[in-house]
Amino acid sequence: MEQTLVIIKPDGVERKLIGRIIQRFEDKNLTIKEMYQGVISKDVAESHYAHLKDKSFFPELIAYMTSGPVVCLLLEGNDVIALVRQMLGATNILKAVPGTIRGDFACSTTENIVHASDSPENAAIEIRRFFSHL
Ligand code: UDP
Ligand code: MG
């Protein structure tokens, strides 16, 4: 059984989409192993997005990710990493098709509602980062 890290980003919480997003994961029969709401520190946000630190949008991305509470989810299921990435939709908002979370709810490539791990290696790192008490 695989595990992945999902974050409902500040705009998803602010727009009161927590329930509807979690509903999609439950409808897919994925298991919520752990979950909490909290504000991400600047340090954690910068580590989480370290691979993007040279991009022009990095400061805006960090400001956005630390602008309010997020909901962190540890999800478990068969092939859950690839499955959840599919459910999120593309990063580029113009390529996020209807039926995906971003396709249905996001209208900005930066403020795009949700994060999910993109590989087994990153899932392990991100689960340690956001569920360090486990
Ligand atoms: N992002 C952005 N502009 C871009 C690409 C990405 O603001 O051109 C933001 C967006 O919030 C995205 C995050 O940076 O979710 C991480 O980017 P990544 O390429 O890892 O996309 P993801 O894995 O979230 O689909
Ligand atoms: Mg990514």
Residues 60-72: tens digit of each pLDDT: 999 999 999 999 9
Nearest CA to ligand 1 atom 18: 91
Beta bridge pairs of residue 70: 38
pLDDT of 133 higher than 90:
no
* Distance from C-alpha of 63 to C-alpha of 90, rounded to nearest angstrom: 22
* Residue ranges lining ligand 1, Cβ < 6 Å: 52, 57, 61, 91, 109-110, 112, 115, 118
85 carries a ligand binding annotation: yes
**Ligand 1 atom 2, closest CA:** 110
Domain 2-130 has CATH 3.30.70.141: yes
pLDDT (0 to 100) of residue 76: 98
Angle between helix 18-27 and helix 80-88 axes, rounded to 10 deg = 130
SS3 108: coil
Q: Is 124 exposed, middle or buried (0-12, 13-18, 19+ CB in 10 A)?
A: middle
Q: What are the residue ranges spanned by the domains of the chain?
A: 2-130
Contact (CB, 8 A) for 93 and 107: yes
pLDDT at 127 over 90: yes
Residue 61 three-state SS: helix
CA of 61 to the centre of ligand 1 (A): 8
Question: Would the pLDDT of 87 be above 90?
Answer: yes
Q: Residue 47 class from Cβ within 10 Å (0-12 exposed, 13-18 middle, 19+ buried)? A: middle
pLDDT digits (tens, 9 = 90+) for 29-81: 999 999 999 999 999 999 999 999 999 999 999 999 999 999 999 999 999 99
User: Could you say which DSSP state residue 41 is in?
Assistant: P
Entry pTM: 0.98
Residue-wise pLDDT tens digits, 97-110: 999 999 999 999 99
- Using the predicted structure, report yes or no on whether residue 12 has a pLDDT greater than 90: yes
Distance 84 CA to ligand 2 centre (A): 12
